[in-house]
């Protein structure tokens, strides 16, 4: 089998894993950024990242994610709130997921291109197979801070495709 065929087979497998993943495990509590005012009728840009990696990469992933978290929660980032989870499905399938809600799509784009996030993506490029969902959620759909059941329901709705897709701008 040629290398390109193995790569495309791996990509198809990862895409199918992502599409079928409805698992909720040790989900971190939903955290709202301080002083955030939620308009229940407004639609907010939401990004769900999903990545699978070898379990030996999880320590590096966790370290980089903690560095990203500091920048993510800095004043003026445009973040409304977030949650995340890491699950281990075996030696070669450890998954990291993030769910972030933003004031504006541009805030997310600015954050993803800057600082710790950009450095982490470059550093993990060959270690993690990432997939992303971008959706619109109303303020009334956001989970209750610290509420596990509302957080779980929110994440399941994202994973199930219950929210309108936010088509990537060209």
Domain residue limits, the chain: 27-160
Quick check: 96 and 57 in contact, CB under 8 A?
no
Average pLDDT of the residues in 86-109: 89
Distance between CA atoms of 37 and 138, rounded to whole angstroms? 13
Using the predicted structure, report yes or no on whether residue 146 has a pLDDT greater than 90.
Answer: no
Average pLDDT of the residues in 82-111: 90
Determine what percent of the chain is predicted with pLDDT higher than 70.
96
Determine what percent of the chain is predicted with pLDDT higher than 90.
46
Using the predicted structure, report yes or no on whether residue 1 has a pLDDT greater than 60.
Answer: no
The single residue listed with the structure tokens 């993943």 is 21
Q: Which of these, 138, 161, 159, lies nearest to 83 by C-alpha position?
A: 159
We find that the CATH architecture of domain 27-160 is 2-Layer Sandwich (3.30)
pLDDT digits (tens, 9 = 90+) for 16-64: 988 988 989 889 999 998 888 899 999 999 999 999 999 888 888 888 8
Q: Which of these, 65, 99, 50, lies nearest to 79 by C-alpha position?
A: 99
Task: State the pLDDT at residue 87.
Answer: 86
């Amino acid at each position: 089998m040629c290398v390109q065929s193995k790569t495309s087979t791996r990509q198809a497998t990862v895409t199918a894993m992502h599409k079928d993943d409805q698992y909720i495990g040790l989900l971190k509590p939903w955290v709202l950024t301080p002083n955030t005012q939620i308009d229940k009728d407004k639609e907010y840009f939401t990004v769900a990242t999903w990545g699978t990696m070898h379990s030996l990469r999880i320590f590096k992933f966790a370290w980089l994610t903690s560095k990203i978290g500091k920048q993510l929660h800095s004043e003026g980032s445009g973040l409304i709130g977030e949650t995340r989870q890491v699950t281990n499905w075996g030696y070669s399938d450890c998954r990291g997921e993030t769910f972030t809600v933003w004031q504006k799509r541009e805030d997310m784009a600015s954050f993803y291109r800057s600082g710790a996030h950009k450095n982490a993506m470059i550093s993990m490029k060959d270690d993690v197979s990432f997939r992303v969902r971008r959706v619109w959620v109303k303020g009334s759909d956001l989970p209750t801070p610290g509420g596990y059941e509302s957080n779980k329901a929110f994440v399941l709705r994202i994973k199930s495709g219950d929210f309108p897709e936010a088509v990537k701008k060209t």
